[in-house]
Chains A and B, each alone.
Chain A
Amino acid sequence: MPVVEITQVVDARGLSCPMPIVKTAQACKGLPSGAALELVATDAGSIKDVAAWCRATGNELVEQTSDGAEYRFVIRRK
Chain B
Amino acid sequence: MTTETLPSTDPLAEAIAAVEGWPEAVDPTVSPTPAPAPADDREAVAKDFLIIDYSGDLEKVWATMILASTSAAMGVKTRVFVTFWGLPVFVKDSKRITGENWMQKMMSAMQRPGISHRHLSKMNFFGMGPWMMRKLAKQYGVASPKELLEVAQAMGVEFLPCQMTMDMFGLKPEDMIEGMGEPVGAATVIGLLTENSVPLFI
Contacts and interface: CB of A to CB of B under 8 A. Distances in A.
B141 interface: yes
Contact of A16 (B70, B142, B154): B142
A55 B43 CA distance: 12
Interface string B146-157: 001001001100
A59 B138 CA distance: 31
Interface string A15-47: 111110110111000000000000000110000
Interface in B47-83: 66, 69-70, 72-76
A42 B72 CA distance: 22
Most buried by B among A18, A19, A25, A56: A18
Contacts of A43: 141
B75 A18 contact: no
B45 A22 contact: no
A11 B154 CA distance: 20
A56 B45 contact: yes
B141 A57 contact: no
Contacts of A53: 73-74
A21 B151 CA distance: 12
Contacts, number: 47
B20 interface: no
A26 B75 CA distance: 11
Contacts of B140: 16
Nearest to A28: B73
A18 B69 contact: yes
A25 B74 contact: yes
B41 interface: yes
Given A22-B69, A22-B151, A57 B74 contact: yes
Nearest to B46: A56
B122 interface: no
Interface of A: 14-19, 21-22, 24-26, 42-43, 53, 55-58
Interface of B: 41-42, 45, 66, 69-70, 72-76, 140-143, 148, 151, 154-155
29 contacts: A14-B141, A15-B143, A16-B140, A16-B141, A16-B143, A17-B66, A17-B70, A17-B142, A18-B73, A19-B141, A21-B74, A22-B70, A22-B73, A22-B151, A24-B73, A25-B72, A25-B74, A25-B75, A25-B155, A26-B73, A26-B154, A26-B155, A42-B141, A53-B73, A55-B41, A56-B74, A56-B75, A56-B76, A58-B42
